[in-house]
Structure 1
């Protein structure tokens, strides 16, 4: 079955020879895979570029979706022209992407993003190399992707900030909040406020997939959530939580999503009433990890607290017990303010500790939504977690640095941490233009 999401090209590095690939008239072009990558050779009989084509069929393209074509190529003769296309494999051969590049004798990586005007299951990735002379093109790393970070993260059109701007278009802060927050991709949080979480997740993930973009979700509904704190609530029982997780997984289905699993749930575990409650909490997170981890296009990350809360070895032990092996990922600094380098150091320490516990290769992401000024105040003291002043927006959702897989806006900027700090009258999860403006300005 042809891929619809993630990597659409099969045998992209030609590890299986030329399986899945075709070439045109053998008098004019041949395709082999003698080692690392493929070698396409055009003869003198191939006078025009299109006389020496090769490619792969069975590509699914959806109208309006974002795609990225990338490949690495070099040629036996510098100045060789290569034409790369994505389009229909049948008449009328309409193209969604058409790029002509000039190759040198050393490898160069090419990268092109586009929005498809085609809606087809008979798509094609193809290359043309006819030069009127004998030439060999070396090709590898041929990828066509959809709904991955290459194409970008999905922006929630119905975020709290977007709804506030829509309701207050003439407010002098509206333009600033639109530029700073509304247009930025952040996590969409799902919890006990969702009356039909399966339908809500399905609608959100479906809208992202229809755009060819990757949605960020945070699931936040564990039994005894926040241990009765500002964000208390959650599922009414352990069994209801497991059913809720099943509904979230069903809502995502076979589509791509990046999911943050239960912020604070593991870091707060010692605050539960007894060992039985702690064991139950670990079991519930493990249930979520396994349910989400088995979905084909989901990257799930269990929350791993922040750099100044739980020591790395202890957090690693909790993550291991909570089934991080099923997801291979954890999140650092969710809803907190630690600078990226501090969070990256902590994430690396936790990952190393997990490897020592027999769970190697675990990656981490960092919440950068509000860490632009770090977590220290002017006096060098660590700020309180709840709506502190003097904080600033951090790096928008993107590929990670310092060992992090991604930098993500997980906590929604402008949403209150609770009735505390600089917003004592704003309940947790409620958007405040006052908080938003302070984060944008760094005040």
Structure 2
């Protein structure tokens, strides 16, 4: 990352309310470094500082570590490799991220630990991970369990059915995130990232022609968010493959976390989510760890606050509050250069709930741990009326929050007929930018992606519909 503010930082925050403690985007950027604990994690000096158990020889292989793992072992620790020289220092209560690339000659479920290297080998991290024949990025977040200068990182490869195999390891990083000063991701980049694999851009690549040119020029070539949920079978790898290139290009990626159990309880078209509270906590910690210290913006769980009145089970509602609170804390702890925005519904929904009640719900999930609020996600209310709504909401919060507005489909507002689920007559709003009456205007909803088989589209939720995209481009301004 090049830690130099560029053209994007020329304007100041343009909120309609005073937000105490909000950093000015015209101030000088500060690098937010974290302490790297691993020596030779990219194996540029062969296998120096690494060890393998006597039955598991290790060697350098094309810039990676290669381990030949025997068969017929009983326990995971019967075949191991790791690093403890120099010994690792782990601080009790500190937050850590372990990340690495791994593959094997056959699919395996293995285990990694960060633990004492002397009896009783107490672990701060002891976690299984899966590998296949294709290299993938794995990221784990954990908290130091004890204060020690005698810790080690291990990869436990034994106890496997199916005989011996070969294991490859690369780009190992173990960082202590605690004490890393929070960064301003807007300052640390030179603009917003254009997703090279967005649904509109993928469609354009497969369907050359006049419509493709129109959609490319108006939508696919513009910055927009990428949504992550249960469809990401390898979350850490998918986030790394999105945030990594953005970081290398010095551009700011916008991500949406959308996997809370029972999501879209009111609408139903985007239902689903993680299998339960524990699964969600694991998923969200992986999300934060995969971003790590790189700059990013995250919109957390659209609909999750507005859905409360459609959740009839009290325990389910209490679990959602805990999960959202856990998520905000996880991003604060493990992604210090990420600005996280808790969803704050939209003007119509929020006015129906009542801004006082909405503020109470946000307080209950620990909105103090969020950088700000996201409003109008996947909706249509005009920017000016959304600003008025957000100023009213902020007046009910003990500490007002900056906010971002989803402008992907709001140029014609919400009036006239149905105002949700692919309604007719909508139009693209302002492209991603700082200011505009909010902290940022963003395309959070991907323009042209369907809300579900309803209204002007027969496509499933999240699927790109070129006719919807063309309507957003060509509908007259009202």
Identify the TM-score tier after normalising by the shorter chain.
0.5 to 0.7
Among 409, 432, 440, the alignment partner of 2:443 is: 409
The offset of 1:350, in angstroms, is: 1.3
Instruction: Report the Cα offset of residue 275 of structure 1.
Output: 1.5
The one of 234, 239, 261 equivalent to 2:300 is 261
> Would you say 1:395 and 2:430 are equivalent positions?
yes
Identify the residue that residue 436 of structure 1 maps to in structure 2: 469
Aligned to 1:199, what secondary structure does the other structure show?
helix
1:347 lines up with 2:404 in the alignment: no
Matching of residue 196 in structure 1 with residue 241 in structure 2: no
Tell me what 1:187 maps to: 225
- In structure 2, runs of 5+ residues without a counterpart are 7-30, 34-183
Residues 373 and 442 of structure 1 are in contact (CA less than 8 Å); yes or no, is this contact kept in structure 2?
Answer: no
1:362-415 per-position Cα deviation (integer Å, ceiling 9, x unaligned): 1111100000111112xxx5x32100110000000101233x111110000000
Partner of 1:282: 321
In structure 2, the residue matched to 1:178 is 216
**Is contact 1:149–1:399 with CA below 8 Å preserved after alignment?**
no
Structure 1, unaligned stretches of length 5 or more?
9-57, 61-144
Match runs of 1:31-180 below 5 Å: 148=187, 151-170=190-209, 172-180=210-218
Alignment RMSD, CA only?
2.3
Quick one: higher RCO (CA 8 Å, sep 6+), 1 or 2?
2
Question: How far apart, CA to CA, are the structure 2 residues paired with 1:308 and 1:149?
Answer: 35
After TM superposition, give the deviation of residue 293 of structure 1 in Å.
Answer: 2.3
Structure 2 counterpart of 1:206: 244
2:131 paired residue number: none
Contact 1:270 1:278 in 2 (8 A): no
What is the CA–CA distance in structure 2 between the aligned matches of 1:367 and 1:147, rounded to whole Å? 17
Deviation at 1:146, TM superposition (A): 8.0
SS at match of 2:395: helix
The number of equivalent residue pairs is 298
Cα distance in 1 between the residues matched to 2:4 and 2:243:
14
Please, which of 236, 245, 256 is the counterpart of residue 284 of structure 2?
245
* Aligned-partner SS, 1:175: helix
Q: Give the TM-score taking structure 2 as reference length.
A: 0.60
2:193 and 2:251 in contact (8 A); partners too: yes
1:427 has 2:465 as partner: no
Which has the higher Rg, Structure 1 or Structure 2?
1
> Does the Cα contact within 8 Å between 1:220 and 1:263 map onto a contact in 2?
yes
| Displacement of 1:422 | 0.9
With structure 1 as the length reference, what TM-score do the two structures score? 0.64
Indicate which of 282, 289, 305 corresponds to 2:345: 305
Cα separation, 1, equivalents of 2:278 and 2:293:
25
Provide closer, same or farther for how the CA distance between residues 59 and 315 of structure 1 changes in structure 2, counting only shifts above 3 A.
closer
Q: Distance in 2 between matches of 1:253 and 1:289?
A: 14
Does residue 1:322 correspond to 2:382, yes or no? no
For the Cα contact (< 8 Å) 1:254–1:297, is it kept in 2? yes
Whether the 8 Å CA contact 1:149–1:398 is kept in 2: the answer is: no
